[in-house]
Amino acid sequence: MPSKTPYKVLCVCLGNICRSPTAEVVFRHYCDAHGLNVIVDSAGTSNYHPNKAPDRRSQQHAMQRGYDLSALRARQMCLNDFLEFDLILAMDYENFENIQSFMVKAVSQFGEHNIRAKIALMSEHDPQYNQQAVPDPYYGGADGFERVLDQCESSSQAWVHFLKEQMSVV
């Protein structure tokens, strides 16, 4: 039976203008395609680009595959995210460590029993890119943006299969 309360996923990278907005829209696409009751958002560990739209290159490459990133706006992750989200997905290992540091602060502020979020890598269940970082495309060329899309598509599908199994046994 489908659950009524949506499962909430937060995709996190450094700037929230390249990888995590791409992950947000791709992840949402596969959840919707499989009828999963999941809310997806994204944020950055940094506050480098507050309220900025996704990087023009990310938008262009995503649009070539039918993903519209134009309405998204960057934000830094905050301690409340650990109360709100079930799953926080790090794009790379540095993001993972920075998210863990935020979580330590959230635990001391709110108490461990109030923390809802688990932290995992975007590639956690992905057989193709297993445990691999999503490489930062910001200072590179077009191939980097295509690689982000390839990994987001592959890893999102793997998460959707994992979550489907989890939701059907609860």
19 flagged as catalytic: yes
Q: Please pick, from the candidates 9, 10, 11, 16, the single residue that binds ligand 4NP as defined by CB under 6 A.
A: 16
Dist. CA 122–CA 135, nearest whole Å: 12
Is residue 136 flagged as an active site residue? yes
10 binds ligand 4NP per the rule CB under 6 A = no
| 8-state DSSP, 76 | B
Span interacting with ligand 4NP, options 11-19, 31-39, 61-69, 98-106, rule CB under 6 A? 11-19
44-57 in b/e form (b: 16+ CB < 10 A) is bbbeebeeebbbeb
Q: Which residue has the tokens 């960057």?
A: 74
Q: Does 14 bind ligand 4NP (CB under 6 A)?
A: yes
Catalytic-residue membership of 13:
yes
User: Which of 7, 110, 138, 162 is the binder for ligand 4NP (CB under 6 A)?
Assistant: 138
Concatenated DSSP letters of 10-27 = EEEESSSSSHHHHHHHHH
Measured from the CB atom, the residue of 9 and 17 that comes closer to ligand 4NP is 17
Among 6, 32, 47, 48, interactor with ligand 4NP by CB under 6 A: 48
